Copies of this chain bind each other. A is one copy, B any other.
Amino acid sequence: MSLKPSIPKGTKDYLPDNLHKRNYLKKILRETFEIFGFLPIETPSFERNETLIGKYGEHGDRLIFKILNSGDKLKKADIKSLEKEDVIRFSNSLSEKALRYDLTVPLARFVSQHRNEISFPFRRYQMQNVWRADRPQKGRFQEFLQCDVDIVGSKSILQEVEIILMCENIFSRLNLKNISVNLNHRKILEGVAIFIGVKDKFLKLTSSLDKLDKIGMDGVINELENQEFSKRSIDLLIPFLDNKGSFKSKIDFLSRKLKDIEVAKEGLDDLFSIYSKINKFKLNCISVNLDINLARGLDYYTGLILEVVPDKGEFDFGSIAGGGRYDNLTDFFGLKDTSGFGISFGFDRINLMLEKLKLFPKDLSKSSKVMFVNFEDQITDQYLQEILKLRERGVACEIYPTKSKLKKQLDYANQRKIPFVIMIGSDELSKKEFVIKNMETGTQSVHKSINLIDEIMKLI
């Protein structure tokens, strides 16, 4: 009995055509990150459980893939907790390490561990896979590539400005236009909470605000009523829910409304300062907006919050990048006061956009440009020398490995999208000639053998 070949749910094989595109996008991101002064790091696929667990909330913790201990260590399995149906404790007794869930916690661990080997502010990028035991669904995988860029160890809002400008640069290189970079600030949200008198319900408030796009104003109000927000609070909130107008007009509105709230002023100062700096640049691909209801990552972000979204209509997904300012990245590891700003790009979604909008350059394929047909062993041996010369000149080429029927060999070239095929049979050999077949047009041309390399170089 043979096994039906298959992969675990939620995972994906990448075939060459697909990989060429992914590698193109990776290359653009990598190059842009480096031009903006960011350096690459890589961390191990698995981290100690102590490093990961407890960092992503209860829900997140459940989505961490743990590595099963092996050998005698397994004998320490805590059977009693299994009997008590305490699955978490049972699984903790079976495992010491886990696959990374994101690149942020590994960054925090890395910065703390290597604090004496790196220079601050530490500008790093990292492009590695992460794993999440999410329920597999269309377009969502359990293993996916994350692309994170962070500057750690500086409070300057120049960081925010630089990363927003980097977005413009990336999307410009990818020919992606009409991208919104939406900003908000934790301290403005805190100001609003104080203003409407729900300072102690900050996370409840922001969690509802974050859903405004999905559930609408009525939905938000409904949710807040259910969470026992007073009518007065909700009435005070309503003007903030209307998120229209220019960046400047929203700043003005917020400054008026929240003028007596110190924390809000700090947030508004940051935002205005970022806005003024960015405003001096001509932006072709991104527009920078203030989104009063943007409220993501508030268990973590302490300053600016940022979200990058393509214009509605074309794509049925939300953001293609997100980030923010954090002040306590490395506290957990005993390294205090490392403020930083970071952004994470949604590689698969950007990839999908390029695919849908047909923005991948043509001829990304790295397939051989030339294939030599295999007629006779003796001739083949002579080819090999020429093929090697072509390769030395950087021409990707190959020889069909066996003396199969011509049709079979040409079919192979077709399937592999090899544009030119070289044919030398005994007839051509005796005449010291060779034939080039253009696989796209089907035309053939005869040339002198002595010019083989030159003629082929002309084609490429």
Contacts and interface: CB of A to CB of B under 8 A. Distances in A.
A158 B385 CA distance: 13
A contact face: mostly helix, strand, loop, or mixed: mixed
A443 to B, nearest CB: 23
Contacts of A123: 398
Interface in A114-157: 114, 117-121, 123-124, 129, 131, 133, 143, 151, 154-156
A119 B67 contact: no
A374 B166 CA distance: 19
Interface of A: 2-8, 11-16, 19-20, 23, 34-37, 39-48, 50-51, 62, 65-68, 70-72, 74-75, 77, 79, 82, 85, 87, 90-91, 94-97, 99, 108-110, 112-114, 117-121, 123-124, 129, 131, 133, 143, 151, 154-156, 158-159, 161-162, 165, 169, 277, 280-281, 331-334, 366-368, 371, 374, 380-381, 384-385, 388, 391-392, 394-399, 401-402, 411-412, 415-416
B334 A8 contact: no
A333 B3 contact: yes
A112 B332 contact: no
B151 A333 contact: no
A118 B15 contact: yes
Contacts of A129: 45
A395 B35 CA distance: 6
A82 B91 contact: no
Copies per complex of this chain: 2
18 contacts: A2-B331, A6-B113, A7-B44, A7-B48, A8-B96, A11-B45, A13-B114, A14-B41, A16-B124, A35-B397, A67-B99, A68-B94, A70-B91, A77-B82, A79-B82, A94-B94, A151-B401, A277-B384
B44 A2 contact: no
B6 A385 contact: no
Contacts of A90: 74, 77
A82 B87 contact: no
Contacts of A41: 13-16, 19
B281 A385 contact: yes
Contact of A85 (B75, B85, B108): B75
Contact of A68 (B72, B95, B392): B95
A371 to B, nearest CB: 8
